[in-house]
Amino acid sequence: MPELPDIAVYIDALERRVLQHRLERVRVANPFVLRSVDPPPDAVYGRTVTGLRRLGKRIAFGFDNDVFLVIHLMIAGRLHWAAAGAPIRKKLGLAAFDFDSGTLLLTEAGSTRRASLHVVRGDAGLRAFDRGGLDVLTASVDAFKEALTRENHTVKRSLTDPRLFSGIGNAYSDEILHRARLSPMKLTSRLSDEEIATLHEATRVTLLDWIERLRREAGDGFPEKVTAFRPDMAVHGRFGQPCPVCGSPVQRIVYAANECNYCARCQTDGRLLADRAMSRLLKEDWPRHIDDVE
């Protein structure tokens, strides 16, 4: 799922292409993508884009009549910039937004349609999408601590909770925790003030670093390589590969449809965290320390 750095770079690219430009029409190929009825999409036809903003992992287009288009890409949704009037892509295409400067295409891979488009009126309409999460790029360490310790969960779960923090998902939470050298399974109630300060700084630095990396990758073009798995990530999606800091093989915990990646030597003092499936299957044969598998 595109997370805060990906959404930030999408908005950068969109501002250069649609800000102060007119939206001529919206073509919807899959009616399921449109999740609202009032106001209708034609409420923004012929209207000028006056601003774009990030709402968690959503992108909101603001128009000169105080109406907004809100796009949520979910896991497999992606945006593409094309020449004016470009056809909607077969199979993957959900919608096309025809501006006087070109066409924005919305696609979604796979058979499950989860990406969404809402049309809402005014700031009151936008508030319906506000989960309350803290903007970690501007938050003080005290505000970060308050959000982090509001509920007692694992650090991994708290970082990815949109009610606590805005825009952080599975991929970048792995990278943040690796930079902070913290176990993803440590409970927030057991974090020291020093660990919270370290995590606050790691969160800001990791996200800002990746925003800059993705900006350089996109350059003046439109970001087309939006993915949660990047070869230069430290641990996310790199199970079994060497940690860039210590060289130990990256470990993982698989749960539901997600997985958590971490370095045992850097983050858990060498201890291997129990995997719900494999540790139960292997029982006494489950290795307890990274030295048992290296």
* pLDDT per position as a tens digit, 199-225: 999 999 999 999 999 999 999 999 999
Domain residue ranges of the chain, discontinuous segments joined by +: 4-127, 141-292
* Mean pLDDT score, 14-27: 98
> Do 99 and 21 contact (CB within 8 A), yes or no?
yes
* Mean pLDDT score, 258-262: 91
The confidence score (pLDDT) of residue 167 equals: 97
Examine the pLDDT at 119 and tell me if it is beyond 60. yes
For the structural domain made of 4-127, what CATH number should be given?
A: 3.20.190.10
The confidence score (pLDDT) of residue 287 equals: 62
pTM: 0.93
* Mean pLDDT score, 31-45: 95
Kindly list the strands in the beta sheet with 77-82, ordered across the sheet, starting from the edge strand earlier in the chain.
Answer: 77-82, 102-108, 93-99, 22-28, 47-55, 58-63, 67-72, 116-121
Does 1.10.8.50 match the CATH number of domain 141-292?
yes
pLDDT band for 282, please (50, 70, 90 cuts): very low
Examine the pLDDT at 279 and tell me if it is beyond 50. no
The confidence score (pLDDT) of residue 281 equals: 42
* Mean pLDDT score, 15-36: 96
Residues 127, 131, 137, 140: is their CA dihedral positive or negative? Answer: positive
